[in-house]
Structure 1
Amino acid sequence: MADPNHAPDPSRPSPVRGTSRRSFLRTTVLAGGALAAPAVLSGCGTTAGRSSPAGASSLAPAVLSSQPDAGQGETLRVGLIGCGGRGTGAAGQALKADSKAVLVAMADVFPEQIETALKSLTQDPAIADRVQVPPERRFVGLDAYQRLIESGVDVVLQAAPPGFRPQHVRAAVEAGKHQFVEKPVATDVAGVRSVLESVRMAREKNLAWVAGFCWRYDRARREFYRRIHDGAIGDIRAIYATYYTGPVKPMPPPSARPPGMGDVEWQIRNWYNFVWLSGDGLVEQACHSVDKILWAMRDVPPARAVATGGRQTPNHEGNIYDHMHVVYEWSNGVRAFLGQRQIAGCFNQNSDFLMGSRGEGVIDGWRAVYIKGENRWRFTGPNNDMYQQEHDELFASIRRGEPINDGEWQVQSTWVALMGRMAAYTGQEITWEMIQNSQERLVPDPLSWDMKLPVAPMAIPGQTKFV
Structure 2
Amino acid sequence: MKDQSSTPSSASRRAFLSTGSALTGGALLASGASAAPLGKLAGMAHVANNETLRVGLIGCGGRGTGAAANALRADPNVKLVAMGDAFGDMLENSLRSLQGQGDLADKIDVPEERRFVGFDAYKQVIDNVDVVLLATSPHFRPMHVEYAVEKGKHLFIEKPVACDMPGLRRIRAACLRGREKGLTMVSGLCYRYQFAKQETFKRLHDGAIGDITALQCTYNTGSLWHRGRKPEWSEMEYQMRNWLYFTWLSGDHIAEQHIHSLDKVLWAMGDEPPAKVTSSGGRIVRTDEKFGDVYDHFNTVFEWKNGVRAFSSCRQMAGTSFDVSDYAFGTKGTAALQHHRIENADGRWRYRGEGPDDMYQNEHNAMFKAIRSGEPIWNDEYMISSTMMAIVGRMAAYSGQTISWEDAWKSDTDLSPVAYDWVDDVPEVRVKRPGVDKYTFDGGAQ
Residue pair 1:44, 1:303 contacting (<8 A) in 2 also: no
Query: 1:36-84: CA deviations, max 9, x gaps?
Result: xx87625589999333469xxx9xxxxxxxxxxx982300000000000
Corresponding residue to 1:370 among 341, 351, 360: 341
Corresponding residue to 2:332 among 336, 354, 358: 358
Structure 2 equivalent of residue 460 of structure 1: 433
How far the C-alpha of 1:85 sits from its partner, in A, is 0.4
Corresponding residue to 2:416 among 427, 443, 447: 443
In 1, the alpha carbon distance for the partners of 2:17 and 2:421 equals 35
Residue pair 2:419, 2:425 contacting (<8 A) in 1 also: no
How far the C-alpha of 1:416 sits from its partner, in A, is 1.1
Structure 1 equivalent of residue 377 of structure 2: 404
Q: Secondary structure at the match of 1:277?
A: helix
Structure 2 equivalent of residue 205 of structure 1: 181
How far the C-alpha of 1:407 sits from its partner, in A, is 1.0
Structure 2 equivalent of residue 16 of structure 1: none
Structure 2 equivalent of residue 290 of structure 1: 262
Q: Secondary structure at the match of 1:126?
A: helix
How far the C-alpha of 1:251 sits from its partner, in A, is 7.2
Residue pair 1:39, 1:408 contacting (<8 A) in 2 also: no
In 2, the alpha carbon distance for the partners of 1:420 and 1:103 equals 37
Identify if the C-alpha distance between structure 1 residues 251 and 460 changes in structure 2 by more than 3 Å, giving closer, same or farther.
Answer: farther
In 2, the alpha carbon distance for the partners of 1:250 and 1:50 equals 41
Structure 1 equivalent of residue 44 of structure 2: none
For structure 2, the 5+ residue unaligned runs are 6-12, 21-25, 39-46
Residue pair 2:416, 2:427 contacting (<8 A) in 1 also: no
Aligned length: 414
Q: Secondary structure at the match of 2:432?
A: coil
Question: Is residue 415 from structure 1 mapped to residue 392 from structure 2 by the alignment?
Answer: no
How far the C-alpha of 1:447 sits from its partner, in A, is 1.7
Identify if the C-alpha distance between structure 1 residues 176 and 445 changes in structure 2 by more than 3 Å, giving closer, same or farther.
Answer: farther
Residue pair 1:78, 1:153 contacting (<8 A) in 2 also: yes
Question: Is residue 51 from structure 1 mapped to residue 28 from structure 2 by the alignment?
Answer: no
Identify if the C-alpha distance between structure 1 residues 420 and 42 changes in structure 2 by more than 3 Å, giving closer, same or farther.
Answer: farther
Identify if the C-alpha distance between structure 1 residues 40 and 333 changes in structure 2 by more than 3 Å, giving closer, same or farther.
Answer: closer
In 2, the alpha carbon distance for the partners of 1:118 and 1:261 equals 23
Q: Secondary structure at the match of 1:127?
A: helix
Structure 2 equivalent of residue 342 of structure 1: 316
Structure 1 equivalent of residue 222 of structure 2: 246
Larger displacement relative to structure 2 (312-321 or 231-240) = 312-321
Identify if the C-alpha distance between structure 1 residues 306 and 39 changes in structure 2 by more than 3 Å, giving closer, same or farther.
Answer: closer
Residue pair 1:327, 1:337 contacting (<8 A) in 2 also: yes
How far the C-alpha of 1:297 sits from its partner, in A, is 0.2
Query: 1:324-357: CA deviations, max 9, x gaps?
Result: 0000001111000010000011111000111000
Identify if the C-alpha distance between structure 1 residues 40 and 307 changes in structure 2 by more than 3 Å, giving closer, same or farther.
Answer: closer
Identify if the C-alpha distance between structure 1 residues 162 and 155 changes in structure 2 by more than 3 Å, giving closer, same or farther.
Answer: same
Structure 1 equivalent of residue 281 of structure 2: 309
Corresponding residue to 1:222 among 195, 198, 201: 198
In 1, the alpha carbon distance for the partners of 2:35 and 2:374 equals 17
Corresponding residue to 1:425 among 375, 380, 398: 398
State the AA in 1 paired with 2:253.
G
Q: Secondary structure at the match of 1:350?
A: strand
Question: Is residue 234 from structure 1 mapped to residue 210 from structure 2 by the alignment?
Answer: yes
Residue pair 2:159, 2:187 contacting (<8 A) in 1 also: yes
State the AA in 2 paired with 1:116.
N
Identify if the C-alpha distance between structure 1 residues 333 and 310 changes in structure 2 by more than 3 Å, giving closer, same or farther.
Answer: same
Structure 1 equivalent of residue 296 of structure 2: 322
How far the C-alpha of 1:260 sits from its partner, in A, is 3.7
In 2, the alpha carbon distance for the partners of 1:386 and 1:102 equals 21
State the AA in 1 paired with 2:325.
S
State the AA in 1 paired with 2:402.
E
In 1, the alpha carbon distance for the partners of 2:136 and 2:51 equals 28
Q: Percent identity?
A: 47
How far the C-alpha of 1:196 sits from its partner, in A, is 0.4
Q: Secondary structure at the match of 2:289?
A: coil
Identify if the C-alpha distance between structure 1 residues 174 and 373 changes in structure 2 by more than 3 Å, giving closer, same or farther.
Answer: same
How far the C-alpha of 1:456 sits from its partner, in A, is 2.7
Q: Secondary structure at the match of 1:393?
A: helix
Structure 1 equivalent of residue 88 of structure 2: 111
Larger displacement relative to structure 2 (351-360 or 375-384) = 375-384
In 2, the alpha carbon distance for the partners of 1:316 and 1:251 equals 14
Query: 1:349-390: CA deviations, max 9, x gaps?
Result: 0001110000000035xxx31101124311011251000001
Residue pair 1:251, 1:315 contacting (<8 A) in 2 also: no
Query: 1:193-243: CA deviations, max 9, x gaps?
Result: 000011101000000100000000001110011111000000000000000
For structure 1, the 5+ residue unaligned runs are 8-37, 59-69
Structure 2 equivalent of residue 134 of structure 1: 111
How far the C-alpha of 1:455 sits from its partner, in A, is 3.1
Residue pair 1:210, 1:406 contacting (<8 A) in 2 also: yes
Structure 1 equivalent of residue 363 of structure 2: 390
Residue pair 2:34, 2:380 contacting (<8 A) in 1 also: no
Question: Is residue 272 from structure 1 mapped to residue 244 from structure 2 by the alignment?
Answer: yes
State the AA in 2 paired with 1:309.
G
Q: Secondary structure at the match of 1:425?
A: helix
How far the C-alpha of 1:449 sits from its partner, in A, is 1.7
In 2, the alpha carbon distance for the partners of 1:381 and 1:236 equals 25
Query: 1:249-288: CA deviations, max 9, x gaps?
Result: 3474xxxx32242111111011110000000000100001
Structure 2 equivalent of residue 32 of structure 1: none
In 2, the alpha carbon distance for the partners of 1:248 and 1:259 equals 22
Larger displacement relative to structure 2 (446-455 or 290-299) = 446-455
TM-score norm. by structure 2 comes to 0.88
